[in-house]
Amino acid sequence: MKRLIYVLRLGHRPSRDKRISTHVGLVARAFGADGIIYSNTNDYSLQESLKKVTQIWGGPFEVKVGGNWRNIIKEWKKKGGIVVHLTMYGENIATSNVLEEIREKTGDILIVVGSEKVPREVFDLADFNVAIGNQPHSEVSALAIFLDRFFCGKELMKEFYNARKKIIPQKKGKKVVELKKEVD
C-alpha cells in the first residue's frame, strides 16, 4: 500500500508569503507529495492557483486551506501517521541516519514547514526534526531536497494523470504538447 505524503505549511501571511506559499505547494506537487494543507489561513487563492496547475499539468494533488496546525498534527498522529518537521535545528539529513529511520517507519507522512516563527510545540510534536544543513535557508529548498532524497530521485520521473499539457524535454528551446482539450 502506498504511503500518503502531505505537506503542512504552518501559517501564511497573504501580504508577505503569497509567492513562497505557492512555491511550497508547487514543489510539494512536482516532487512527489500527494497534497498540501495550508493551516491557519483562509486564503483560498492558494488553493485555486494550485488547482489550476493540477488541471493543466496533471495530478493527483490535493490542496486544503484552513484548520489549526496543532489539531492537524495531533489528528495525523492519532491515525498512525508520522510527522517530519523540516528545520535547520534538526538532525542533519547528510550526517545522520534520520532518512533511513523515517523510511523504516510505517504510516503516512506529514512534512511540516514553517512560514513565520515555528512554535516550540511543533518540535515536540514532531516524530523527526530534520535539517537540510544547519544554516538559514528557504523552506522551499528544504522541502525539495527532503523529497528528492526520500524518493531517491524517482519522483522526477513521476507520471501525472489527466494532464492537459506536457513538457517534452529537449536540449534547446521549449516544447509543450497539448494532451487533451479543455471541456467547457
* Cβ-based neighbours of 180, under 8 Å, separated by 6 or more: 164
Order of all β-strands in the sheet with 82-92: 62-65, 35-38, 5-9, 109-113, 82-92, 128-131
Q: What is the pLDDT of residue 42?
A: 83
Give dist(CA 175, CA 32) in Å, integer: 23
The yes-or-no verdict on residue 28 having pLDDT over 90 is yes
Give 122-135 pLDDT, tens digit per residue.
Answer: 999 999 999 998 88
The yes-or-no verdict on residue 145 having pLDDT over 70 is yes
Average pLDDT, the chain: 92
Nearest to 114 by CA among 123, 101, 105: 123
Q: For the residues 24-43, what does the mean pLDDT come to?
A: 94
Q: For the residues 2-13, what does the mean pLDDT come to?
A: 90
Helix (H, G, I), strand (E, B) or coil at 133: coil
**Going from the N-terminus, what domains does the chain have, and what CATH number goes with each?**
5-178 (3.40.1280.10)
Helix (H, G, I), strand (E, B) or coil at 110: strand
The yes-or-no verdict on residue 107 having pLDDT over 60 is yes
Check residues 39 and 17 and name the one with the higher pLDDT: 39
